[in-house]
Amino acid sequence: MSEVVQFRARVPRGGLEPLWRELVGAELRRRRLARRARLVDVAARAGVSSQYLSELERGRKDPSSEVLAAVAGALGASVLDLTAAVVSTGRAPSTTVPPSTPAQVRLAA
């Protein structure tokens, strides 16, 4: 069957934790602006539309690994580079949820 595992969830102060796509999007935009590259030029090199790249940068779309690799490559980076940057700089401040409200995860057997 399945087993329920309880753990103490961590949420940032003052609200919800940012979504991964938002953090990755912000890092994509930061790298593009640091290179002084136009959105349309990076999109063309990555093989995506400029509208789609804009949505990625704003955290509105969740890219596939292939699209993320293409955009990262167009910015002279790898998916690993993006991930490392997000992990090192993208963490939201967090506090522990009070013990009276434990989070639960159901594990499949």
| Segment 24-41, tens digit of pLDDT | 999 999 999 999 999 999
Q: Which tokens hold the place of 74?
A: 């167009």
Residues 65 and 99 in one domain: no
Residues 25 and 9 in one domain: no
* CATH at 58: 1.10.260.40
Residues 27 and 52 in one domain: yes
- pLDDT category at 10 given cuts 50, 70, 90 is low
Residues 6 and 58 in one domain: no
Number of domains in the chain: 2
pLDDT at residue 45 is higher than 80: yes
Domain that holds residue 5: 1-15+93-109
What is the distance between the alpha carbons of residues 55 and 61, in angstroms, rounded to a whole number? 6
Residues 9 and 39 in one domain: no
Radius of gyration, CA atoms only, the chain: 17
pLDDT at residue 90 is higher than 90: no
* Cα torsion angle, 91, 60, 28, 20, sign: positive
Q: Once rounded to an integer, what is the mean pLDDT over residues 52-68?
A: 96
pLDDT at residue 88 is higher than 80: yes
Residues 22 and 51 in one domain: yes
Q: Once rounded to an integer, what is the mean pLDDT over residues 4-21?
A: 68
Residues 1 and 43 in one domain: no
Residues 33 and 85 in one domain: yes
Q: 38: helix, coil or strand?
A: coil
**pLDDT value of residue 100:** 42
**pLDDT value of residue 17:** 82
Residues 52 and 33 in one domain: yes
What is the distance between the alpha carbons of residues 50 and 44, in angstroms, rounded to a whole number? 7
Residue identified by tokens 């804009």 is 54
